Structure 1
């Protein structure tokens, strides 16, 4: 049963032998040595607990048994230990059906109803069950839905579930191949009915005794039989062995619950070259690919996968703690058997080693002596964390494996890698693939496509392929980018026509299918400012229909902030999708101190069912274009300029980051420039807009013509927004310019957590990790828990702080000791390591 539910190994080698004396075996000798060393490495790293047997022409060339068959009694494994074969059981079930067919007791082409009258599907045949072409749903779902936790599922009760509830078939019988455990449980019932005896009796009489098998039998939950040499399943869970054996679904027989040993399986495999069980003509069908209704075939017969023109016959099994595999190389008369009971999926590696391929062994790394803050908001705890390849494997009291690489955390905090939900760093990664601006503050994933501007996903992925980078990238699709494509560069300063909205929706759906997180807007910027609510809602609905989200630099953060917040709430209400306010702020002096009212407005919306959230950066000055200081886009209006100076920014503390029309202005405040020009700040503001516009017209290919860091927020409001339970931390940063590009996250940890005690450290980290992942819809990231990606940051809470300042915006943070992305160390001791494991993260 390749049905998967989910203990550490005991460190002793039980049996091991191999020989090279038989004819033909010298060619296998190197492979067997590789196999042996591979199993030893896997065992020493708690990745193998089981038995491997290799034979040629029925002669055993190699066996190895490592570990325990019972984690409670420490009973050692041997080649006679009887494992639950899981789905390898299916070949035995198929054999019994073939025996009944050969004796004239049943026909493959007969409907199942012929033998099981309560079966509710008239067109499904016995052959459909054998070949996995029935279209039946898996019985697990039915059992979980309609039976209780104390009910043991049996073959009879499963049949009654089908009879009573008659779930729809997934496809019409024979239309396609889809693995189905339900079918083989039904075959088990047919054997009992047609064979006129319990299936375990029929099995013993017709397979076990004729082959003189010593440790092969059927055993199931609440079985009355006494099993011989039974192996118990377990799994390794955070460094400890935990039972993982038969459960209440295991009262069924057919898709699993045949037990056998490696030695017996070899006898079984050899018998298939003979007519001890069925005639050769009967057996041939088991190794013939199934023919589908459209005349195509699929390489599966009766309980066997078929490869290389039937030169390789195999099956695997996976259930609770058991992982099993049998491969028959029929042209070479070789057999490879793998039986494990520790939840170890070693099949691929064992096969690679046996076949002479270089096995790709999992790589582990242990991080010890840390205070673990796991991203959930829970209090720190002392622990060690083990990585396996790009994932987190174990957490707890762990000791190093032999020759395992170890990082001593020195008592520092280990946290999930920070996720920057609003980043503009992607544009600089071509020249800065080490992503120092990002990793120096502990960020391992950045989210692009913000403020309505995005890269097309094909281009972004091609860029990553050409130039790998140190951090992961996800992206939204920008509203302004869609508008530019649909309306043209000269058509942006108006509302879109219906056909243009349709074109944008089509483009957005395509990007959503390629992994976009959703729609982002920058409604305060000219490229999108002239769109109306209907246009935005239609596009947001298209994103919602594709399972996406909405994030917005809202239409106003100052004069019309109330209306702008109402707009994003309406979008969330209309589309029923999660919506997020980018870099939440109040940038109007007269509204300073009203953060509590804004948050109350958001909480009311949440209470009404709108999933609205926010991100926020820890500064009271922003960075944007000078033009946003004119909310009415009346750049020559002296009254508007005076309003901007008095209400929207402080010219004495607002710095031009760049100004292509006069580069000498870069680094100076608007107040400084006004003094140089002998003007009032309002007059200078209008002049700067006009000069930048003229430069842009003369230089249409120029990018970043002007930019300003505007001081326009009040710190108490910033702190309130940071502390809101539905706010995650972001940087809104890029390479150069605003210090947030290099220091936003470390500024929170130093200034607001350690120094000002705004929130506990674990809460701040939650706002940088688990909460952010939730807001973005990212899976398997943002927490330190087994199975999640190994994106991690090691930090010293006593020294962590930002060092980037205006004029020194690229200064690296201190206190970030190490950063891992996908298990690879990318940053340590304030230096990049040169590793570039970052990937594109699809929605």
Structure 2
């Protein structure tokens, strides 16, 4: 055993040898030194297993091999190791076609059908295959659809799939350029047919032997060829190397499956400066950008990307566990070859270093000693999580890399960053870019544009560019915002005319194209209250047609709640898109206790195929305007005011948060103000509405003239709504006013999870993360899994709680120990770090 280990250690050291040339040392030496150290760092952090070679005038200036050629045997890589070139193989296919063309065996502009009679498309030429202008679909899709899991795809069986099923072309040949592996597999078939021998034999006879290549051959799944120095593909998966090599699609030859070493590729590259294989005039066409039908060009020739007006020729390859690159700097006679087998992406970094650019090395950090609640609803597990840049990379039993940043989780819970599906915080970010109200409760993404009011996508983008913030922002497009644009601020108190609806739909489609999540309505508010169902459904359909969603502060949460629920269900039924009820509640005293019946109605709709869901905040009092307490909009009707006092809110527990007409009222209940005014609460309610209206008329630029926190829900209903399987958690919060702006999520975790045991912690976190992302259609967020964005929260489930209260609505939560957004720490120890990595999330 020790003898074997000593041998492997010696072999590994040899494979790491570095050779420097002397020529052009003043320019290249510093770059090569940086390249060497960069590759070492990447290898130490499991991001590079492969070979890099740099040459000038055919002389090797630098070459290095680091890593393993076969994870099963731990055989080390050398510069003679033969890698699957993946798409770099295409230049060899193109060369063999060029050789056949020179010999008069074929013509580029002949239809493929001339050489492959079973090929069903009459207008696609050999040139179209070479240039990626054929319009053919990818063969992967055909194979997955029409072949079985034990079938090995071959060139012949792929051709038969095309012959039998004749899939439609994506575009007419020559109309545009679109990379197509199918075309190069067909070229492989043409080489076999026209060359009169198996492609492996033709390749060996016409390229390998003339160039005296030692480790270059064609090898494929179930190949009879005996590979020399074959490298096996693998990938790193949660801290371990696992095989990632040839699959059942790899019975084909043409788009990949040429194997070669760095040394051989250098010989190949140098041969292209000569006429050893084809004439210079033939090669020239291979390096000429393709001309499309409209006379424009695309920088691709025959198996080569053409950069910098032909001064640089390159190609990359990516397949299973292999990533490859060859770059030829024609004017400098330099060659850069990068071959890797760990599924890593060192190519771009190595090229940047060689070209004198500052390399952007991936940054990793490790969070250890945590109980992982990953957002899926499954039970906690012990683990470590490694981040790479802004993404989650690995999860499991992980070993620290040299000089890696490590956070000790101290046995606490690591969860995905919470997603607030209904937030009004964005309006405060101009003065609060640290987003303390949000991050102190573990939220890393907020969704704006709620209740029918929104910022335009371009406005949000400009604001974020000018003043970055700590958290991510997504938005819906508000119905009321659209109405104001189409109907004018003073024209909202009526149904919209057909031409106005058309204008709103056009505006909505534009916003959808810029990344809006969908349509948001606030149908209980005056700006949208007078819209009819047809207007709303037409707009919702426009959002659905653009792939969006619908979210609504429904038309009534009290007197007309039955009709309002029916309306949103109908919208989901007609448009067939997901619909969501904002801040689900029952705000009519006579209907308290009917949450189970309402949820049963929603479940019946779901059984019908309507994708309806809800969000909910954990309080039995809301925040809105005084005017919503008059469902009939009859603000001077004493009977309606009396009904509001008795059925719609409790004046003794409902606090006037702000009142510009008389600021001394702020912080007092409606009952308190009634006593001060020696009035009954109903009379006070009407008086406050009238006074606020007068103030607004005199101060038309004033915003937020009045606001009330209304006590009107029953705690058992709130708990039922929170517990429903299709309810995700939201805050409906902003800076100041209702305590929910600072404490909604931590209130759920403390009050309803830990203290009242309403649901398990992992279920609550699911409702704050993955379920929310699903309801919103957000991708790569809400779960801790490799490849997802590194939005994370570290929390102590034993101490987490909200501290915000009426009168102290900005008190920070306890138990949120750390928050990361896009891998950057934004909150720790109840303080913002000053990092502002938030982005505008587009649908």
TM-score by length of 2: 0.98
Q: Counterparts in 2 of 1:449-598, with a 5 A limit?
A: 449-598=449-598
Of 300-309 and 819-828, the range deviating more from structure 2: 300-309
Distance change in 2, residues 1:255/1:667 (3 Å): same
Kindly provide the CA deviation profile for residues 214-272 of structure 1, in whole angstroms up to 9, marking residues without a partner as x: 11100000001110100000000110111000000000001110000011111111111
Q: Which residue matches 2:123?
A: 123
Cα separation, 1, equivalents of 2:525 and 2:497: 19
Cα separation, 1, equivalents of 2:626 and 2:347: 61
Q: Which residue matches 1:699?
A: 699
Kindly provide the CA deviation profile for residues 49-80 of structure 1, in whole angstroms up to 9, marking residues without a partner as x: 00001111111111110010000100000001
| CA contact 2:21–2:62 (8 Å) conserved in 1 | no
| CA contact 2:739–2:805 (8 Å) conserved in 1 | yes
Kindly provide the CA deviation profile for residues 285-319 of structure 1, in whole angstroms up to 9, marking residues without a partner as x: 11111111222211111111111222111111000
Q: Cα distance, 1:10 vs. partner?
A: 14
Cα separation, 1, equivalents of 2:291 and 2:479: 49
Cα separation, 2, equivalents of 1:300 and 1:633: 66
Q: Which residue matches 1:377?
A: 377
Q: Which residue matches 1:718?
A: 718
Q: Which residue matches 1:33?
A: 33
Q: Which residue matches 2:136?
A: 136
| CA contact 1:14–1:66 (8 Å) conserved in 2 | no
Cα separation, 2, equivalents of 1:671 and 1:43: 70
Of 203-212 and 613-622, the range deviating more from structure 2: 203-212
Q: Which residue matches 1:3?
A: none
| CA contact 2:617–2:732 (8 Å) conserved in 1 | yes
Q: Which residue matches 1:4?
A: none
Q: Which residue matches 1:298?
A: 298
Cα separation, 1, equivalents of 2:677 and 2:291: 85
Secondary structure of 1:309's counterpart equals helix
Q: Cα distance, 1:12 vs. partner?
A: 5.6
Q: Is 1:157 the counterpart of 2:131 in the alignment? A: no
Q: Cα distance, 1:211 vs. partner?
A: 1.0
Q: Counterparts in 2 of 1:803-842, with a 5 A limit?
A: 803-842=803-842
Cα separation, 1, equivalents of 2:548 and 2:14: 53
Q: Counterparts in 2 of 1:640-679, with a 5 A limit?
A: 640-679=640-679
Q: Which residue matches 2:4?
A: none
Cα separation, 2, equivalents of 1:400 and 1:23: 40
Q: Cα distance, 1:130 vs. partner?
A: 1.0
Kindly provide the CA deviation profile for residues 491-520 of structure 1, in whole angstroms up to 9, marking residues without a partner as x: 111111111111111111111111111111
Cα separation, 1, equivalents of 2:199 and 2:758: 67
Kindly provide the CA deviation profile for residues 14-41 of structure 1, in whole angstroms up to 9, marking residues without a partner as x: 5234455533233210110010011011
| CA contact 1:53–1:338 (8 Å) conserved in 2 | yes
Q: Counterparts in 2 of 1:268-283, with a 5 A limit?
A: 268-283=268-283
| CA contact 2:742–2:811 (8 Å) conserved in 1 | yes
| CA contact 2:109–2:125 (8 Å) conserved in 1 | yes
| CA contact 2:421–2:447 (8 Å) conserved in 1 | yes
Kindly provide the CA deviation profile for residues 588-627 of structure 1, in whole angstroms up to 9, marking residues without a partner as x: 1111111101111111111111111000000000000011
Cα separation, 2, equivalents of 1:190 and 1:786: 41
| CA contact 1:389–1:823 (8 Å) conserved in 2 | yes
Cα separation, 2, equivalents of 1:220 and 1:106: 26
Cα separation, 2, equivalents of 1:444 and 1:11: 48
Of 406-415 and 296-305, the range deviating more from structure 2: 296-305
Cα separation, 2, equivalents of 1:91 and 1:203: 12
Q: Which residue matches 2:3?
A: none
Q: Which residue matches 1:445?
A: 445
Q: Which residue matches 1:609?
A: 609
Cα separation, 2, equivalents of 1:308 and 1:527: 56
Of 367-376 and 122-131, the range deviating more from structure 2: 122-131
Q: Which residue matches 2:732?
A: 732
Q: Which residue matches 1:366?
A: 366
Cα separation, 1, equivalents of 2:301 and 2:694: 74
Of 811-820 and 119-128, the range deviating more from structure 2: 119-128
Cα separation, 2, equivalents of 1:470 and 1:639: 48
| CA contact 1:558–1:586 (8 Å) conserved in 2 | yes
| CA contact 1:793–1:818 (8 Å) conserved in 2 | yes
Any stretches of 5+ residues in structure 1 without a counterpart? 1-8
Q: Which residue matches 1:321?
A: 321
Kindly provide the CA deviation profile for residues 558-613 of structure 1, in whole angstroms up to 9, marking residues without a partner as x: 11111111111111111111111100001111111111011111111111111110
Cα separation, 2, equivalents of 1:65 and 1:375: 40
Q: Which residue matches 1:631?
A: 631
